[in-house]
Structure 1
Amino acid sequence: MQLNDILSKLNDVMYTYVLIIMLVGVGIYFTIRTRGVQLRLLKDGLKTLIEKSDRVENEDGKKRVSSFQALMISTASRVGTGNIAGIATAIAAGGPGAVFWMWLMAVIGGASAFVESTLAQIYKVKKDGEFRGGPSYYMERALGKRSVGILFSILLIICFAYGFNGLQAFNMSSSLEYYIPNYSDTAYPMIVGLVLAVATALVIWGGVHRIGFITSVIVPVMAVAYILMGIVTIAMHVTEIPHVFGMIMQNAFDFRAMAGGMAGSAVVIGIKRGLFSNEAGMGSAPNASASADVDHPVQQGLVQVISVFIDTLLICSSTAMMLLVSGVEGQSGVLDGIPYVQAAISSNVGEWGIHFITFSIFAFAFSSLIGNYYYAESNILFIKDNKILLNVFRATCVVAIFLGAQADFSMMWNIADITMGFMAIVNIISIFLLGGTAIKALRNYEEQKEEGRPLQFKARDIGIDYTDIWK
């Protein structure tokens, strides 16, 4: 058996059994402990996003990263080609019922997203006038396990900077095959790789503020455009909507299909697609959450719930609806992924829809390149804060994007999936152990809101005396 086959089997076992149980379990646990904070205080999260701050700069004279910018950085990483190709693959493999379980996982996962992002805010640090934080930081500061934090950082860097960014570059490049005959045999993949590498370099050498600015422009514009495409498609097939929802619900609870093969059922495929699209509890988004300048850690925890909902309930649902109203049936291994989406969109609105999907893939994937890089940078700085090391690391990230656009490195992607799996396991255990701290912060937040006091967080009020920021 080849190494890649072994990695594929390990990948399947980890994601189908271990991670699903852990992520669903911790999501339900925190939903109960927080009394459904992801729905109960959703309005507060929206309010935090739209509130204008008088503070354009922090006390060090550097531009502050707003809650909105931090949200867009995390959403940029979450929203990628998986929101288009991944949903098509899920429906082709598991049937329309996978969409229901995807929705349910977004709601449950919102509680995990709240806890991990609140913890990232509580234990963040300030370096060179900017906030940094994430799972590695709360593993070191709250658990006292720097070695575990370093392990998490290494896994995240391999996964996001090299694996997932190579995958996003390849998906962008290969989407042009529709337009160029024998595309992979031409010089175009190299040209695309070079353009992507240069564009990414210009952004990442500009620092977190440029990353925040770019993602806060690309993500909202493309998300709105993509959702509008979904709305237009639904409006054109409005009479089909009751039938589509009927298919989703009927297939979601097709117990005979479940008994026939649980691993390939709508339940498992929908749960996997939902969890691994919105990344709730996986330990990635807290790296962006920590960068925001807020008055209370809970505010950013609530904001990150919105990112989960944008990813799954809005963007993934838009893809699902466009596929299901088209009348085109996907089939795993025959018509799935991008070809399934292209066939469905062409059936819905004509050939111009294919061009829109290609553009969407480029926009979503490029924003993911930037968001993924930001996560990796935060973790390379956790391991060692050194400018030379950082610049060398940036160069290797740019090279990975250049090479990724030219080749299908399936082994590298299997390694990326496996490292993300181990990364998630480390983070899930950590937030389970530290979740009580986030819940205490939530109570502190709610008490201040009930009393009508201006929001202000002091770590000692919830029994913590070892934070850098909230003294």
Structure 2
Amino acid sequence: MEFLEMIFGKIGDLTWGWSLIPILVIFGCFITLATGFVQFRFFGRMFRVLSRSNNSADPSRISAREALLVSVGGRVGGGNIAGVAVAITLGGPGAVFWMWAVALVGMATSLVECSIAQLYKRRVDEKTFRGGPALSIIHGLGKEFHWLAVVYAICLIAAFGFGFNAFQGNTVAGAVQDSLGIDRLWTGIALSLISGAIIFGGIHRIAKASDVIVPIMAVGYLALALLVIVLNITEIPGVVSSIVRNAFGFEQAVGGGMGAALAQGLRRGLFSNEAGLGSAPNVAATAEVRHPISQGITQSFSVFIDTILICSCTAFIILLGNVYVPGAEGIDGVALTQQSLVSHLGAWSQYFLTGAILLFAFSSIIYNYYLGENALSVLSKNPVSLVIFRLAIMAIVFVGAVAPGATAVFFFSDPMMGVLALVNLLVIMMLFPTALRLLRDFRTQLAAGVDRPVLNPDAYADLDIDRDAWRNTIE
């Protein structure tokens, strides 16, 4: 076991340690420039997805809005509550600024990777599509790269399907035990059974569940943060000034100054919004849309919601309170957020936060499950393997919940996500010309007065796309 931990530790050092974060940031800046700041140009269009009139008219299909909410449910999790607190503790208020910056850059990366996944999606049946980086590799780069798709699929299952689901189960059980005094065993049983009831319904049931859960948890948390902001409205200019001054080293809240703020902000921001990590495209490909870029814009909006809205809520709750003391050791993570909230609104708010953590983690579990299911389809077409995988997910959630130390077994999760991200970035780089081709097509139609551009598969006859998946766009 020690040998394996050493091997995966080295993999983690080679990815997250020094190479991956700079590559993600630099490549994100390159995409932003090469696409003409696409995330800002199309920012107004992002809000269209919230209107049901701009989604699929057939309720049996996955709409762009439902795919967005599944993605938001996956991106928004413990990192938005505990991760932001850790970033502020280790990097000072300036870390928040760099989280915002990496999110704005990541919006462009997410748009591109999700548009590519949409283009190469495959129709499974009359109501279902399947896609993601693995299928983009096979059909976009060619079957000689099938081995790379297998590497991607294995890393996705290991990191998201197994490791992160154990962590989410552990997070929920710990929060419920600390605030409500309910034993981990009962939380584990309930969480496992509810998860099973949804994941055995496949992507359609996952989408319908997210359509209910995600708006409740996101709007509820935003409302609570807005209340805190209103109660402390006179202190907002000072907090914003502190964030900016610490970000550029004009003030130093912690040891390391600007360097600590930059490192923590970028790292926590990338972990939270997942832009470029190769996870969200799996969900983006399930939606029925008129043009791949449309879903790319929608997924770019998901990054905005995750970091600019939800993470900022946590940051202001902490920085407007009197619990956080710059440079002091002691309270951090979810406890810092929880105690800061209590200092603003009273003891009742800790129970609200427990509920928010429960919903955040649960939505992440069903999202992580679908990523694993999608990856499994590349490795095996046997329906028995899918049933076994679903049962395994239920067991992993249960074990992660009841055994506080069990998550240590999944030490391979972060290194596997690092490899996953490097593979995904390689795919984006190789297929970036195709993404630019899609973007030109989309912009040309807008310039011609087409309000909702449509993909014409005949214009992409040289590519290995599934014409059947786009038949509704030309009917």
Bin of the TM-score, shorter chain as denominator length: over 0.9
1:451 and 2:448 are equivalent in the alignment: yes
1:350 and 2:353 are equivalent in the alignment: no
2:135 aligns with: 137
Change (3 A) 1:106 1:343: same
Change (3 A) 1:189 1:28: same
Change (3 A) 1:54 1:73: closer
Deviation at 1:410, TM superposition (A): 4.5
CA contact (8 A) 1:159 1:416 kept: yes
Aligned mate of 1:217, from 206, 212, 215: 212
Aligned mate of 1:88, from 79, 85, 90: 85
1:401 and 2:402 are equivalent in the alignment: no
What CA distance in whole angstroms lies between the structure 1 residues aligned with 2:339 and 2:125? Answer: 50
1:159 and 2:152 are equivalent in the alignment: no
Q: Which amino acid aligns with 2:48?
A: K
1:363 and 2:359 are equivalent in the alignment: yes
Change (3 A) 1:163 1:64: same
Change (3 A) 1:262 1:240: closer
Change (3 A) 1:462 1:6: closer
The 3-state SS of whatever aligns with 2:112 is helix
1:292 and 2:293 are equivalent in the alignment: no
Q: Which amino acid aligns with 2:271?
A: F
Q: Which amino acid aligns with 1:113?
A: S
Aligned mate of 2:381, from 381, 385, 390: 385
Change (3 A) 1:448 1:416: same
Deviations 1:229-251 (A, max 9, x none): 11100111111111111110111
1:173 aligns with: 173
CA contact (8 A) 1:48 1:299 kept: no
CA contact (8 A) 1:159 1:419 kept: yes
Deviations 1:154-178 (A, max 9, x none): 1001111111110000000001342
CA contact (8 A) 1:116 1:301 kept: yes
Deviation at 1:409, TM superposition (A): 3.1
CA contact (8 A) 2:278 2:424 kept: yes
Q: Which amino acid aligns with 1:14?
A: T
What CA distance in whole angstroms lies between the structure 1 residues aligned with 2:104 and 2:204? Answer: 30
What CA distance in whole angstroms lies between the structure 2 residues aligned with 1:333 and 1:376? Answer: 38
Deviation at 1:179, TM superposition (A): 3.5
More displaced 10-residue stretch of structure 1: 411-420 or 443-452: 411-420
What CA distance in whole angstroms lies between the structure 1 residues aligned with 2:378 and 2:7? Answer: 32
Aligned mate of 2:97, from 95, 100, 107: 100
CA contact (8 A) 2:399 2:406 kept: no
Structure 1 residue runs without a partner (length 5+): none
Over the matched positions of the two proteins, sequence identity in percent amounts to 38
Q: Which amino acid aligns with 1:346?
A: V
Change (3 A) 1:258 1:236: closer
CA contact (8 A) 2:152 2:420 kept: yes
Q: How many residues align?
A: 462
CA contact (8 A) 1:152 1:423 kept: yes
The 3-state SS of whatever aligns with 1:65 is coil
1:198 and 2:159 are equivalent in the alignment: no
Deviation at 1:436, TM superposition (A): 1.2
Within a 5 Å distance, the mapping from 1:218-297 to structure 2 comes to: 218-254=213-249, 261=256, 265-297=260-292
Deviations 1:357-379 (A, max 9, x none): 11110011001111111111111
More displaced 10-residue stretch of structure 1: 214-223 or 247-256: 247-256
2:426 aligns with: 429
2:38 aligns with: 37
What CA distance in whole angstroms lies between the structure 2 residues aligned with 1:13 and 1:324? Answer: 34
What CA distance in whole angstroms lies between the structure 1 residues aligned with 2:21 and 2:55? Answer: 43
Deviation at 1:254, TM superposition (A): 1.1
Deviation at 1:260, TM superposition (A): 6.7
Deviations 1:170-189 (A, max 9, x none): 000001342466x7xxxx21
CA contact (8 A) 2:160 2:372 kept: yes
What CA distance in whole angstroms lies between the structure 2 residues aligned with 1:96 and 1:414? Answer: 29
Deviation at 1:43, TM superposition (A): 1.6
Change (3 A) 1:54 1:99: closer
What CA distance in whole angstroms lies between the structure 2 residues aligned with 1:456 and 1:9? Answer: 46
CA contact (8 A) 2:94 2:244 kept: yes
1:64 and 2:65 are equivalent in the alignment: no
CA contact (8 A) 2:56 2:288 kept: no
Deviations 1:406-453 (A, max 9, x none): 223343443111100110000011101111111110110111111123
What CA distance in whole angstroms lies between the structure 2 residues aligned with 1:119 and 1:464? Answer: 15
2:149 aligns with: 149
Deviations 1:382-425 (A, max 9, x none): 22222111101111111000101022334344311110011000
More displaced 10-residue stretch of structure 1: 153-162 or 256-265: 256-265
**What RMSD over aligned residues (CA atoms) do the two structures have, in Å?**
2.3
Q: Which amino acid aligns with 1:34?
A: T
Deviation at 1:51, TM superposition (A): 4.9
1:75 aligns with: 72
More displaced 10-residue stretch of structure 1: 405-414 or 89-98: 405-414
The 3-state SS of whatever aligns with 2:129 is strand
Deviation at 1:16, TM superposition (A): 3.8
2:116 aligns with: 119
State the TM-score, normalizing by the size of structure 1.
Answer: 0.93
Deviation at 1:48, TM superposition (A): 3.9
